[in-house]
Structure 1
């Protein structure tokens, strides 16, 4: 048995980390006007945000085609892989997970074990890292059970603070009136994952207060997970300096926790907009050095 690990592009794991653990990537697509770009391959974050600011309509996104996934599986099979653990962003947000399962049924000689992470971004990447780092020491069935446990027991969680309501409004998630009132009141929604869906957690006045509230929730969860090997990530949407300062502040408060800085790439940023910040973590032991 030879196991490959695949993750979709919305994990936003660093290239060096994926290379270290031989994690393969299947890209999602972002549609801007008449142009279709493969995330992390055809367009940079800088180019994406520059173009999005000029657009009246929100960029749209799409999952990899079954054909793209079949090509990846055939390539892995030619390298001698017999099984694939394929970790994807929440199936409630995208059809990527479903397409991975469909592609697996179309390629003989290699078995696909698709995993619906029920989250997204680097937090989803935690699961791919755990799979890649333990595929040689754990039986496949045990490893797949562990990945499910990461979701079931809330060993992996995340919260997001949206800085601007314009993308939510453009995407039809808010009316013009709601966006206007929210902007005037400086409302900063805190979002969380619930059964794989992104749902409102709280609405807070001002971003500073919203981040403080996320810190309070994080503190309670860290108390519950005291003694476990927590790895956390701060995620930013074209706000690297702000994200780094928040990460450094959190690191000072929690010296025993490993913190990493990541970003919202085009597919996720198209929905959250610029300036969004996220905080996620896992209690499973993983290596994020490269």
Structure 2
């Protein structure tokens, strides 16, 4: 059985990892004035977005997920003849319609995939299961990396799906925005389909008069809230990386994956205080660290220099 893994473009995993595990990326549109770019985790497109587009982002610019019909066409063209069983991980449904659109598309696909497979000379059924990751950015990256590991080890796809659904309830994701001025300028968009950006902005700006401070935002079990505030980005990053290291040292991780993403060149993360110690802790405890660029969807809402970290572990107080 050919088992495939799909993520949407908000999943922060490095392109080398995506390619090595043949992880397919469900694209997301990014509206920039009169232009529309397609984010499919292509390095050149993402790099150009951070270098040229992000500095000129307007309040009305936003990400635009594929509709259910567009998602169905993408499934039909990209998956049906390449795999027999596909697990599709999406950004949390609380912040985006991607899960709902993918689920609807998967049901519609059942009615018309047979002709495509028959034409390709492929017998047997095609199965597609959509999972709400209940997380974003680095958290989605860590969950997808664990899915890729289980598939590579030959686990039955039903067992992989069950494990990912279990882990989705235990994802710990944290975000730091370096440019709160960008967050504030973005404002709040009208319409219920802008929840991702609006909820992040609301949580960050909820610190009110401390806009010159750098908060660490926790996105755990559907709740977005600042858990730490420091006078500098470096200090907030150090607290966050030290917290993650403590979870590893305590043996709290439920899967050997940790994902860090950055709105720009991710190599900049290596210069942060606490990074070297975290990397060594990952190495010593058999945890795979993934460094990636933050998705343009994250970047457009959080601004340049934002970072995200995600791992699977039961929630504990941040200290």
What TM-score results when the alignment is normalised by the length of structure 1?
Answer: 0.82
Deviates more, 1:224-233 or 1:158-167: 224-233
Q: 1:203 aligns with which of 225, 229, 237?
A: 229
Identify the residue that residue 118 of structure 1 maps to in structure 2: 134
Identify the residue that residue 28 of structure 1 maps to in structure 2: 28
Q: Whole-Å Cα distance in 1 between the matches of residues 154 and 229 of structure 2?
A: 44
Shift in Å, 1:90: 1.3
For structure 1, the 5+ residue unaligned runs are 284-290
Identify the residue that residue 143 of structure 1 maps to in structure 2: 160
For structure 2, the 5+ residue unaligned runs are 114-125, 189-200, 314-319
Whether the 8 Å CA contact 2:92–2:136 is kept in 1: the answer is yes
Are residues 197 and 99 of structure 1, via their aligned partners in 2, closer, same or farther at CA, if it must alter by over 3 Å? Answer: farther
Are residues 78 and 11 of structure 1, via their aligned partners in 2, closer, same or farther at CA, if it must alter by over 3 Å? Answer: closer
Residue 94 of structure 2 is aligned to residue 68 of structure 1: no
Q: Whole-Å Cα distance in 2 between the matches of residues 258 and 112 of structure 1?
A: 27
Alignment of 1:62-211 (within 5 A): 62-76=64-78, 78-79=80-81, 81-108=83-110, 109=113, 110-135=126-151, 137-152=154-169, 154=170, 156-169=171-184, 170-172=186-188, 173=201, 181-183=209-211, 186-211=212-237
Shift in Å, 1:54: 2.5
Whether the 8 Å CA contact 2:253–2:311 is kept in 1: the answer is no
Shift in Å, 1:48: 4.2
Q: Whole-Å Cα distance in 2 between the matches of residues 149 and 230 of structure 1?
A: 15
Whether the 8 Å CA contact 1:190–1:203 is kept in 2: the answer is yes
Deviates more, 1:31-40 or 1:200-209: 200-209
Identify the residue that residue 194 of structure 2 maps to in structure 1: none
Are residues 239 and 3 of structure 1, via their aligned partners in 2, closer, same or farther at CA, if it must alter by over 3 Å? Answer: closer
Are residues 33 and 80 of structure 1, via their aligned partners in 2, closer, same or farther at CA, if it must alter by over 3 Å? Answer: closer
Identify the residue that residue 59 of structure 1 maps to in structure 2: 61
Identify the residue that residue 308 of structure 2 maps to in structure 1: 278
Q: Whole-Å Cα distance in 2 between the matches of residues 203 and 23 of structure 1?
A: 36
Deviates more, 1:18-27 or 1:120-129: 120-129
Whether the 8 Å CA contact 1:52–1:59 is kept in 2: the answer is no
Identify the residue that residue 244 of structure 1 maps to in structure 2: 270
Shift in Å, 1:243: 0.8
Deviates more, 1:141-150 or 1:207-216: 207-216
Whether the 8 Å CA contact 1:90–1:197 is kept in 2: the answer is no
Q: Whole-Å Cα distance in 1 between the matches of residues 291 and 278 of structure 2?
A: 11
Are residues 61 and 46 of structure 1, via their aligned partners in 2, closer, same or farther at CA, if it must alter by over 3 Å? Answer: same
Q: Whole-Å Cα distance in 2 between the matches of residues 224 and 133 of structure 1?
A: 23
Q: Whole-Å Cα distance in 2 between the matches of residues 137 and 274 of structure 1?
A: 39
Q: Whole-Å Cα distance in 2 between the matches of residues 278 and 74 of structure 1?
A: 32
Residue 205 of structure 2 is aligned to residue 213 of structure 1: no
Whether the 8 Å CA contact 1:118–1:197 is kept in 2: the answer is no
What TM-score results when the alignment is normalised by the length of structure 2?
Answer: 0.75
For these two proteins, the number of residue pairs brought into alignment is 278
Whether the 8 Å CA contact 2:258–2:289 is kept in 1: the answer is yes
Residue 283 of structure 2 is aligned to residue 266 of structure 1: no
Identify the residue that residue 5 of structure 1 maps to in structure 2: 5
Residue 44 of structure 2 is aligned to residue 16 of structure 1: no
